[in-house]
Amino acid sequence: MPVPLLENDMGAAVPVWSSPAGGAARLVVYEDIGAGHDVEAQGLAHSTRPCQQKYMPCTSHVERYDPSKDSWEMVAPMADKRINFGVGVMLGFIFVVGGHNGVSHLSSIERYDPHQNQWTVCRPMNEPRTGVGAAIIDNYLYVVGGHSGSSYLNTVQRYDPITDNWLDSSGMMYCRCNYGLTAL
């Protein structure tokens, strides 16, 4: 049976994860060993359904693709299992924010250091949210919209990784949840 493949951002085919996840959300860490350890992340968690084993199970598992071995390997798990979270990469770290843990909406944020293979819990957001948009601008993580557990949100929060603080920013005109966001 052939090995299923994914296509990375360079158009090259890479094998799928090392273990089956049954549609689980995953945080995929690409570490380009040959280019000075540049780090990219892709959050694969886009479900509007509740986080239940029957639908899309939450997970704290994280895998890294090693292009020199053409294989995936497990790395340190996140502190919280989650699905439908935001992801941003800055200052050599991967930040995972918000989401749902199968019981409640999360306000937590975690920072992954790929060189130490370690997660650090950071100061939580001002309100829980799942289905957020997340983007990095000028070394700030912007978390936009989502759902709080009781309502859809148009609010914007900005995270400063140096001071480990959140600041409320101007909101959007309309509430949004489960959408894509990128910085240009």
pLDDT recorded at residue 90: 94
Query: What is the topology classification, in CATH, of domain 5-169?
Result: Neuraminidase (2.120.10)
Residue ranges per structural domain of the chain: 5-169
Q: Encode pLDDT of 150-171 as tens digits.
A: 999 999 999 999 999 999 999 9
Q: Encode pLDDT of 44-65 as tens digits.
A: 332 233 333 344 678 898 888 8
Closest C-alpha among 64, 101, 62 to residue 85: 101
Q: Is the Cβ–Cβ distance between 63 and 29 less than 8 Å?
A: yes
Q: Encode pLDDT of 81-120 as tens digits.
A: 999 999 999 999 999 999 999 999 999 999 999 999 999 9
Closest C-alpha among 50, 53, 62 to residue 100: 50
Residue 118 parent element (H or E): strand 118-122
